[in-house]
Amino acid sequence: MTEIIEIPYIAGDGTGEDIWNASKEPLEEAVIKAYGGDKRISWIEMLAGEKALEKTGKLIPEETLDTIRRYKTVIKGPLTTPVGGGYRSINVYLRQIFDLYVCVRPIRYFKGLPSPLKRPEKIDMVILRENTEDLYKGIEWKAWTDEAKKVIKFLGEEMGVSLSEDYAIGVKPISKPGTVRFTRWGIDYAIKNKRRSITVVHKGNIMKYTEGGFRDWAYEVAGEYRDYISFSGEEGKILFNDRIADNMFMQAILRPGDYDVLLCPNLNGDYLSDACAGLIGGLGVAPGANIGDNVAIFEPTHGSAPKYAGKDVINPISFLQSAAMMFSYMGLDRASTILTTAIEDTVNEGIMTYDLARQMEGIVPVRCSEFGMEVAKRIKGL
């Protein structure tokens, strides 16, 4: 009897719909191929973002949150946050309410991708970004508001910090418990996935107690894993080290092969993952996942790229690869491998959307939907 695997999805705003339409068939075919038709996907649509606002008057309807709670593993396209829509960002909101404290962003080169580097084949990094703390907590006050003035007054009167009233103020909270659970997750991930090294990426030289704390607490946790981790490069163990964030950006470009798992506070991870995506062709190929102890939401690194919405030109690889990550997470490893192989074969044969084609000589770009069809065709032919 065929096993039906129910997967809830949010198609997403802007180009989300284009990407979803192109991706559905290859995802379904990958599961059919992997299990000889014994397993099939049944999709459950969830509303969020602009579509949800139009249909229900809410950016995130309660029903969507309930479905995520019930199914625990879901995939979503990018969401636009309408200005003045009530949330700072729906994406940040989802990460916070489901406590998705790890953002996993693999940056892996495969043959056929354009890269500005001479030897891109060495690029195989996984950026782990803490997802719930740091400046993304969203604690900030606009300049000249009563709140900002109150904080400035408190800083002056109670803390001996003198600031004029012209400042907007932001707070950067990084906690030990938050850093500890994130680091544990990262080390467990590195052990399970047989990774070579873990590098803490911080700016502790300047922000001594927030980013410096992050670094120190990460080392403390690493110290509990002596059977697996070495601080000096012992053979057979995972090397644990750290780099100051600005240096790490240079290292990622000049010596990406020396780096493997990167453990980052929220903002560093955000910047670094987009920059590193540029090393393997751009945001169109960079997948991601937001993972907590109960819920996992898989989503591309990129946003809704509204200027391309409905034009059927955008690259669906990031979404497809996020789905491949989801398949692995769900124990559907064979489907994940089949999907990844088909994406790589397609690109390697010079079939690619505008974003990659414009970085190459003599490649005529295919449409988003055509790319999806080509991937599906290769899956069927595997």
* CB contact at 8 A, 26 and 379: yes
Q: Among residues 179 and 322, whose Cβ is nearest to ligand NAP?
A: 322
| Of 340, 344, 316, 338, the residue nearest 112 (C-alpha) | 344
Piece of 120-128, 165-173, 200-208, 282-290 that binds ligand NAP (CB under 6 A): 282-290
Q: Report the distance separating Cα 303 and Cα 15, nearest Å.
A: 9
Give ∠ CA 205-286-214 in degrees, rounded to 5: 25
Piece of 107-115, 227-235, 263-271, 299-307 that binds ligand NAP (CB under 6 A): 299-307
Identify the residue among 106, 204, 284, 287 touching ligand NAP (CB under 6 A).
Answer: 284
Q: Report the distance separating Cα 289 and Cα 100, nearest Å.
A: 9
Identify the residue among 128, 305, 320, 335 touching ligand NAP (CB under 6 A).
Answer: 305
Shortest reach from residue 240's CB to ligand NAP, in Å: 30
Identify the residue among 23, 67, 183, 315 touching ligand NAP (CB under 6 A).
Answer: 315
Question: Which residues are identified as catalytic?
Answer: 136, 203, 246, 270
User: What's the gap between Cα 321 and its chain centre?
Assistant: 11
Residues 345 to 364 in contact with ligand NAP, rule: CB under 6 A: 355
Side by side, which strands form the sheet with 197-202? Answer: 39-45, 3-10, 73-76, 296-298, 289-291, 102-108, 124-130, 261-264, 197-202, 238-244, 229-230
* CB contact at 8 A, 264 and 129: yes
Other Cβ atoms less than 10 A from the Cβ of 382: the count is: 13
Shortest reach from residue 56's CB to ligand NAP, in Å: 19
Q: Report the distance separating Cα 156 and Cα 150, nearest Å.
A: 10
Q: Report the distance separating Cα 231 and Cα 223, nearest Å.
A: 9
Does 283 engage in binding with ligand NAP (CB under 6 A)? yes
* CB contact at 8 A, 335 and 112: no
Shortest reach from residue 379's CB to ligand NAP, in Å: 20
Q: Report the distance separating Cα 211 and Cα 199, nearest Å.
A: 14
Residue closest to ligand NAP (Cβ): 303
Shortest reach from residue 29's CB to ligand NAP, in Å: 21
Does 339 engage in binding with ligand NAP (CB under 6 A)? no
| Of 352, 377, 374, the residue nearest 363 (C-alpha) | 352
Does 314 engage in binding with ligand NAP (CB under 6 A)? yes
Piece of 25-33, 194-202, 264-272, 298-306 that binds ligand NAP (CB under 6 A): 298-306
List beta partners, residue 74. 297
Piece of 38-46, 120-128, 233-241, 303-311 that binds ligand NAP (CB under 6 A): 303-311
Residues 53 to 112 in contact with ligand NAP, rule: CB under 6 A: 78-81, 89, 91
Shortest reach from residue 329's CB to ligand NAP, in Å: 18
Q: Among residues 169 and 285, whose Cβ is nearest to ligand NAP?
A: 285
Q: Give the interface with ligand NAP as residue ranges (CB under 6 A).
A: 78-81, 89, 91, 282-284, 299, 302-306, 314-315, 318, 355
